[in-house]
Amino acid sequence: MNRAHRLSMAAALILIIFLAPTLTSLTSPDPERTALPTKRTHAPTLEHPAALTAPPPTGTASVRLLGINDLHGNLEPPADGDTGGAAYLAAHLDRYERAYPGGAIRVHAGDIVGGSPLISGHFHDEPTIYAMNEMRFDVGTVGNHEFDEGGEEMLRLINGGHREDGKQFKKGEDTSDPDFPGANFPYISANALNKDTGETVLPSYKIVERDGVRVGFIGVTTEETPGIVMPEAIKPYRFPDISESVDRYARELQEKGVESIVVLAHAGGDQLGPAEAVGEIISETAEMTDAVDVVIAGHTHNTLNVRVGGKLVVEAYKYGMAFSAVDLKVDRATGDVTDATAEIVPTSNTDTRPDPEVAALVERYREKVAPLSERVVGTAAERVGLAASDAGESALGDFIADAERESAGTDFAFAVSGGIRGELGAGPVTYGELFAIKPFGQRLVKMEMTGDGVRRALEKQYREGRDRTLQVSGLRFVHDPEAPFGERVTSVTLPDGTPLDPDKNYTVAVEGFLAGGGSGFTEFREGRERRVVGEDLESLVDYVEQLPEPFAAPKPDEEQRMAVGS
């Protein structure tokens, strides 16, 4: 070994000895150092990603949906029933939520307000929103009646604030709460669009988490809305196809990793049997993407519990007299609904203690409105009901049309059957009862029309798939349901049997909805010499007050104004 080699090895040995403590500190843990928390300043190198990624969740989540529809401000139980009332509804929802292990999501399918009794309607439906807040709802959609007083008032009820459009006054009193907070839960609608911008008026969907899984809710509103709401109220909006709107946002939810999808649809149907149903929501559900698992429906005030193309469709009657309880099983790993079952539960108030907070809220508003609501305006000799003849005529419909014709001093009067929301019981008749029958506060409009225009309006009742029966006063007509559309009205006469003269001018009274051409009755929009002569409710109140007591209503089974024939 030469001298140079020996020197280099000696230098290497000295270097190893010098660095030994440092190398030891880098390879052996120091108890004092490892006990201290460290701050990571760089992202870890993902050489072994499987070791750094948490294992996927396993098992099944349990989620219960508690749904209502078409409450229409009915905070109190109906006078002649043992179901309903917001305080009892709240108690039932609490019981069904406590009984479920995974957790409940409370939802509604629209028409929570609008067409409401005096206890809510007199206060612009603010009491109903307060009650919904107290019942801890999570998400809802808008029905056609949320638009009754226009989009601005709809949004005020959702977002809060004192009403400032001049309509806050009822009987000369400002009945809107200056500190009204609005709904404390979101409203959604994927197909209520601004006509000018094409943008949705509300968010299209909402994601809610329960039991560790996410459920996406998409809201939609019946495509019929423009034809069944006051034309001026609905003018700024349009309502495109339900299923197409749902499919668009279902894809968006899936892109966000949400696979459990529920539609809140203010559109309904009729159940014909255990596995058979028809109607708007049935046909629309059949066209929806298979990504949708459940549809919670409304609008038709019916009971639905049926499957359509694998999707569960439910509707829970009306007025808080029932609710739907939908139980979902969700795969935690995939987020998919693996099972969905439902029951429609009546809100019996005979064996249930009402929720004290909601009961106190209802009682507070009942006391406020009692002096007006309980004022007796007349006495009915017998019940005046809405049971319709084969031709669609009802005793109460005749009675209301008579009241409007008397108030306006016209030859004829026409009232919309769908605008009559209650019945009259025998005995004392209160202002509150009459308000419940005509809760929309529509203008009463007097106009002139030719006999031909009147006949064409009557004919317009019968359109393919869209019967819209009118209640009449001052004339009699016959229609043939087997005749072609446009030729069904076979006879129109005055009460004394004189045929309607097509060229003669007659005076006509109609409610504001019809005067604006609502439900396609454009013939009334063509009326001449139009003027507002009062309100439909006040005309009914005045009419009842001046009748001899006890008063009797018309009897369609004895003297028909509307008949079926050829």
In a domain, 456, yes or no: yes
By the 10 Å C-beta count (0-12 exposed, 13-18 middle, 19+ buried), 198 is classed as exposed
Determine contact, residues 194/202, Cβ cutoff 8 Å.
no
In a domain, 341, yes or no: yes
Which of 310, 339, 365 is a domain's end point?
A: 365
Q: Same domain, yes or no, for 350 and 491?
A: no
Which of 365, 394, 412 is a domain's end point?
A: 365
| Six-digit token string for 63 | 């989620």
Q: Taking Cα atoms as reference points, which of 234, 231, 313 lies closest to residue 67?
A: 313
| Six-digit token string for 443 | 């203008």
Q: Taking Cα atoms as reference points, which of 337, 314, 208 lies closest to residue 264?
A: 314
Q: Same domain, yes or no, for 409 and 322?
A: no
Q: How far apart, in whole angstroms, are the C-alpha atoms of residue 197 and residue 378?
A: 51
Pairing of strands 476-479, 470-473: unpaired
Q: How far apart, in whole angstroms, are the C-alpha atoms of residue 45 and residue 42?
A: 9
Determine contact, residues 155/236, Cβ cutoff 8 Å.
no
Q: Same domain, yes or no, for 331 and 398?
A: no
Helical packing angle, 242-255 and 280-287, nearest 10°:
40
The CATH number assigned to the domain holding 554 equals 3.90.780.10
Q: What is the model's pTM?
A: 0.87
Q: Same domain, yes or no, for 445 and 320?
A: no
Determine contact, residues 264/141, Cβ cutoff 8 Å.
yes
Q: Same domain, yes or no, for 414 and 524?
A: yes
In a domain, 11, yes or no: no
> In the 8-state DSSP scheme, what is residue 333?
T
> In the 8-state DSSP scheme, what is residue 419?
G
Determine contact, residues 444/511, Cβ cutoff 8 Å.
yes
Q: Same domain, yes or no, for 252 and 148?
A: yes
Q: Quick check: helix, strand or coil at residue 518?
A: helix
Q: Same domain, yes or no, for 171 and 192?
A: yes
Q: Same domain, yes or no, for 279 and 206?
A: yes
In a domain, 326, yes or no: yes
Q: Same domain, yes or no, for 301 and 448?
A: no
Report residue 27 CA to chain centroid gap.
69
Which of 322, 338, 365 is a domain's end point?
A: 365
In a domain, 190, yes or no: yes
Residue numbers of the domain that contains 186: 60-365
Q: Taking Cα atoms as reference points, which of 198, 195, 197, 248 lies closest to residue 219?
A: 248
Q: What is the largest CA-CA distance in the chain?
A: 143
In a domain, 39, yes or no: no
Q: Same domain, yes or no, for 342 and 380?
A: no
The CATH number assigned to the domain holding 124 equals 3.60.21.10
Residues 6+ apart with CB under 8 A from 144: 110, 111, 114, 221, 222, 224, 225, 228, 229, 266, 299
Q: Quick check: helix, strand or coil at residue 385?
A: coil
Q: Same domain, yes or no, for 285 and 238?
A: yes
- Which pLDDT belongs to residue 323? 98
Q: Quick check: helix, strand or coil at residue 484?
A: coil
- Which pLDDT belongs to residue 55? 67
In a domain, 5, yes or no: no
Q: Same domain, yes or no, for 528 and 558?
A: yes
3-state SS, 88-141, equals HHHHHHHHHHHCCCCCEEEEECCCCCCCCCHHHHCCCCHHHHHHHHHCCCCEEE
In a domain, 515, yes or no: yes
Q: How many domains does the chain have?
A: 2
Which segments of the chain have a pLDDT < 50?
Answer: 1-52
| Six-digit token string for 295 | 């549809």
